[in-house]
Amino acid sequence: MKPIVILGIFVADTAYRAERQPKMGETILGTSFVLGPGGKGSNQSVAAAMASAGGQVHFITRLGRDAFADIAQATWARAGVVPEVTEDSESYTGAAYIFIENATGNNAIIVAPGAAGRVSVADVEAKRALIEGASVFVTQLEQPIPAARRGLEIARAAGVRTILNPAPAAPIDDAMLALCDYVTPNESEAEALTGLPVTTVAEAEAAADSLLAKGVGAVVITLGGNGALYRDGTRSVHVPVISAGPVVETTGAGDAFNGGFAVALSEGRDVVEAVRFGCATAGISVTRPGTAPAMPARPEIEALLARS
């Protein structure tokens, strides 16, 4: 099986739980703190490796030379991710501040990408052969956009299926969107890309149509507790949420979805089945705290799908 190749960033997640966020100038007491692995690309790589039935998942990124880099390497080794890392002695391994609201599990995040913010077009070119030999290429918008664009260009030219998870939301021109077989925003990212509100399935369909008009091959809008909408030029399918239990934390849900979705596509599943596989992956992840540590193993995903 051809590998899945993911371009993105690793950051160390510093996760704080409290009743509410502090106001500017205010200090409050939290109820817990956890240090763990994060970064959308890294999380998606872990999710894909955990969800894969033996396929290889390669992750292209930059790290500093520090204790947070050691966390990255240990995380990937446990999940079976193949690291494609440029060590950057002139920067630091990135970190993220994550606030989690006790009552809801909702989150607010600040990312300082460090070395991963220096991922360059040259870094991507150095991995050209790997990308060209992939079954699926995935990227996001946490690393510099020129690097993401180049990865998509290389993959598209080689006939590799391309997934862009446009997170965090950032302006993207139509030429870059046209390189994407699949774009996978959540509601707020879809709104940022299209200027259209996304609070219902019908509104998600309108936003998806706007993205299709910009040249995207197909759109998957993740809708939190409402599941996901798949829409292309001929099909529109709302896939309901696949629940595995009470929600503990939603931080890594989108990354779980994208990792699972990429795996299912790489295995040749129908795209709507791939969306269901992604929803099941996310449905399990939200029942656990953390991001990468919450990603489910393949047998868990298959068991949930079998009983859904």
For the chain, give me the number of helices (H) and strands (E)? 11, 13
Residue 67's nearest CA partner among 59, 58, 75 is 75
Preceding peptide of 168 cis, ω within 30°: yes
Cα-to-chain-centroid distance, residue 37:
14
* Contact indicator for 13, 38 with CB cutoff of 8 Å: yes
80 SS3 class: coil
Pairwise CA distance, residues 110 & 98, whole Å: 7
Pairwise CA distance, residues 104 & 98, whole Å: 14
- Neighbouring CB atoms inside 10 A of 24's CB total 4
Among candidate residues 88, 123, 181, 255, the one labeled active-site is 255
Q: Is 181 designated active site?
A: no
Give the angle subtended at the CA of 221 by the CAs of 308 and 244, to the nearest 5°.
25
Q: How far is CA 306 from CA 156, 256, 302, in A?
A: 34, 19, 6
Q: How far is CA 287 from CA 238, 239, 246, in A?
A: 22, 19, 6
Tokens of 308: 């859904």
- CA terminus-to-terminus distance, the chain: 28
Please report, as a single letter, which amino acid is at residue 158: A
Active site residue ranges: 255
